[in-house]
A = this chain, B = another copy of it.
Amino acid sequence: MSSKTISGGNGRGAGSQRVTLRTIAEVTGLSLSTVSLSLRGGTTLKQETRDKVAEAAKALGYIPDRAGVRLRTGKTNVIALVLDGAEDSIDFARQMIQGIGHAIRGTRYHLTVIPEFERNLSADTIRYILDNRTADGVVITHTGPRDRRVQMMIDADFPFVSHGRTEFYTPHPYHDFHSEVFAALAVERLASKGCKQVMLVIGDDSTTNYHNIVTAFHRATARAGIEARILEGTQGLTPAEMRKIGLDLAAETQRPDGIICDSEMRTIALVGGLQESGLVVGRDLHLIYKQTSGILPTLFPDLDSIREDVFAAGTELTRLLMKRIEGAEAESLQTMAEPQPHWRS
């Protein structure tokens, strides 16, 4: 092929120029506009021309310059992940990023990550993205029922997807773990094990998730006819404090015989405290936790858990977001992830 002369000549060093539309135009003898049009699938072009361009582009290894495209079209081809600082779910960040990475593989999208240091600054982050059009779409996690970030992006009509539902009237894309099912499954399981008093240990009350779990928990315990108890506001506690709670709990005369824990970090500390006081979890009382990492099953192979697949969530969130960016209706971009029970014995 005639392209040899060029593709063969670009070794290392100062000689190798970047391959642009211009390069392809020169190689094919067509004009810049034609090449550009062709590459974007212009239907008014002769099939022969389109083939010629496609071939040259491939031979030369052409990849559109992001800056050029962005300047001209405003499209950044960037997806931004706002990374919450919480570490309740072990390995959450890594899996989420891997999931997103998996979904954008082979697409023109890149991923930029914006770590969040303080929750109350999250509005600034979104404001910055909105003002500077620094991404085509945003993924947020740890969503609240009246999340300011969601409100801002709805108002600005900016593409985003939330990991978690909201209470806003205007529909928006989301993907969420089905916390209600989680709570129901857990309560039923504990009831079937003969538990009479079940305690829900739960953290971050700023998330929608929190409310969904609490509501479903009350409903499920009422239906099963067992006593319900809630230990809330545990998100700020240190592992040591959580451990202490386990110890104190074990000492109670009227202690719960079933526990549901929504966080891996807290499960570890809590179980640590319970065990230290001599109780055997799985015999003296039962515990079900929400599992996101592979660590806890290693640690407590005998404990029941209900799994949320964060990698899959990342992939799904990205799929929804990309569709949204392409203009799909928000209503059609709302999906739920079914909790996956892992019952032992």
Contact = CB atoms under 8 A, between A and B. Distances in A.
Nearest to A75: B67
A265 B76 CA distance: 38
Interface in A89-111: 90-94, 97-98, 100-102, 110-111
Given A71-B71, A90-B91, A94-B94, A299 B101 contact: no
B268 A299 contact: yes
Nearest to A81: B113
Contacts of A268: 295, 298-299
Contacts of A243: 298
B97 A115 contact: yes
A93 B85 contact: no
B93 A93 contact: yes
A243 B155 CA distance: 53
A198 to B, nearest CB: 24
B12 A155 contact: yes
Interface string A246-278: 000000000000000000010011001000000
A21 B97 CA distance: 36
Nearest to A116: B101
A66 interface: yes
Contacts of A92: 94
B115 A265 contact: no
Contacts of A114: 101, 111
A131 B294 CA distance: 37
A2 interface: no
A85 B70 contact: no
A298 B245 CA distance: 13
Interface string A213-244: 00000000000000000000000000110010
Interface centre among A91, A98, A112, A115 (most CB of B within 10 A): A115
Given A102-B117, A295-B90, A110 B110 contact: no
Interface of A: 12, 18, 61, 63, 65-68, 70-71, 76, 78, 83, 85, 87, 90-94, 97-98, 100-102, 110-115, 117, 131-134, 155-156, 239-240, 243, 265, 268-269, 272, 293-295, 297-299, 301
